[in-house]
Amino acid sequence: MGELARNDSHHILETEEEKVVSPWREAWRSFRKNKLALIGTFIVITFIMMAILAPVIAPEGIDEQKFTEKLQSPSSKHWFGTDDFGRDIFSRVIYGARISLSVGFFSVLGSIVVGSLLGIVAGFYGRWIDTVISRIFDIMLAFPSILLAIGIVAVLGPSLQNALIAIAIINVPNFGRLIRSKVLSVKEEEYITAAKSIGMKDTRILFHHILPNSMAPIIVQGTLAIATAIIEAAALGFLGLGAEAPLPEWGKMLADSKGFLVNAPWTMVFPGLAIMLTVLGFNLMGDGLRDALDPRMKQ
């Protein structure tokens, strides 16, 4: 009887442990059920692997010119054809993934760091600090993002690094306002009041309690912002304000090929498809993360 009782109690404990699922594990289960999100994740991982393995995958260098083979249509030798300098477009598109993904990741990372710090300070301390920071955000958001980016690059000078900085700056208000609103709700929770009552320092409360509980919206917004950053980098490159020759940035490739749209459309089609698929992948993945991490989206 005693052994039977122990087995029953052990079974009950296992059942209770199965019921207790961490929010992140539950979010992962929900994410795996979203087929579109999985497709987007597959697309993103594919482009990331292309960028990492570019020296292995690309058959030629990014600036290997063969004037006798210029503007050749796609073939078994040149899968995506060649451009007006005889360069292999397939190789340049693959190496371009490194540039576009790097700009997307690092610009969004910078926006998250700066925007989160400003949003946390504004939401936690309030009063005049909140007013000043919020008005700065409002002023920045009053300008169309691409025009603000163009203005920043015009001041700093056209280059890939300055384009990255400009994209990071224009996305700061989005993350700042997002974190500020989250902090305003979280700081009213009972455990924050308890932490203050026992004399816990503000920095510890901010970075050990408030920020970890604000990670879900940051992850979702960050994923979607990478897609936007890639488009903005391509737009700046197309306007001649981003990457400079011979770097195979996708927007720059489109700009260099616009004169051959009729006679050699493949010079524009494949860089354009790369931009479209990458942005689509991040958007699908971001939507899936939003559905998995936002309690309001769950039935």
Look at residue 204 and tell me whether its pLDDT is greater than 90: no
Helix ranges (DSSP H) in the chain: 2-19, 23-32, 35-52, 54-57, 89-125, 127-141, 145-156, 160-186, 190-197, 202-205, 215-238, 250-257, 266-293
pLDDT of the residue at 1:
47
| Those residues with Cβ within 8 angstroms of residue 159's Cβ, 6 or more apart along the chain or in another chain | 242, 243, 244
pTM beyond 0.75: the answer is yes
Q: Sign of torsion, CA 252 253 257 261?
A: negative
Contacts for 229 with CB less than 8 Å, ≥ 6 apart: 103, 104, 107, 108, 167, 171
Largest CA distance in the chain: 89
3-state secondary structure of 72: coil
For residue range 123-170, what is the model confidence (pLDDT) as tens digits? 878 788 889 998 999 999 888 888 899 999 989 888 889 999 999 999
So what's the pLDDT on residue 43? 93
Could you tell me which residue, 81 or 5, shows the higher pLDDT?
81
Query: What pLDDT is stored for residue 93 in this prediction?
Result: 92
**What pLDDT does residue 20 have?**
46
**Model pLDDT, residue 160:** 87
**Which pLDDT score, from 0 to 100, does residue 182 have?**
81
Retrieve residue 51's tokens. 């960028």
- Burial grade of 2 (CB within 10 A; 0-12, 13-18, 19 or more): exposed
219: its two tokens: 């992850």
Exposure on the CB side of residue 154, measured as CA atoms within 13 A: 7
Judged by DSSP in three states, 211 sits in coil
Q: What is the DSSP string of 272-289?
A: HHHHHHHHHHHHHHHHHH
Q: What is the DSSP letter of 258?
A: G
Three-state SS for 164?
helix
Q: What is the mean pLDDT of residues 51-79?
A: 85
| Mean pLDDT (whole number) for 282-297 | 77
Amino acid at residue number 200: M
Q: Which residues, listed in sequence order, are joined to residue 88 by a DSSP beta bridge?
A: 82
Average pLDDT, the chain: 82
Query: Which of 58-67, 94-103, 172-181 is the least confident region?
Result: 58-67
Residue 56 to residue 232: CA distance in whole angstroms? 28
pLDDT at 13 over 50: no
Residue 18 has pLDDT above 90, yes or no: no
Residue 186 C-beta-side C-alpha neighbours within 13 Å: 25
Higher confidence at residue 184 or residue 104? Answer: 104
Q: At CA 132, angle to CA 193 and CA 219, rounded to 5? A: 60
Give the residue, 22 or 106, on which the prediction is more confident: 106
pLDDT score of 4: 44
Which residue segments constitute the domains of the chain, with CATH numbers given?
44-61+81-297 (1.10.3720.10)
Cross-strand partners of 82 = 88
State yes or no: pLDDT of 111 exceeds 90. Answer: yes
- Range from 1-5, 65-69, 253-257, 290-294 carrying the lowest mean pLDDT: 1-5
Tokens encoding 268 = 């524009």
Q: What percent of the chain has pLDDT over 70?
A: 86
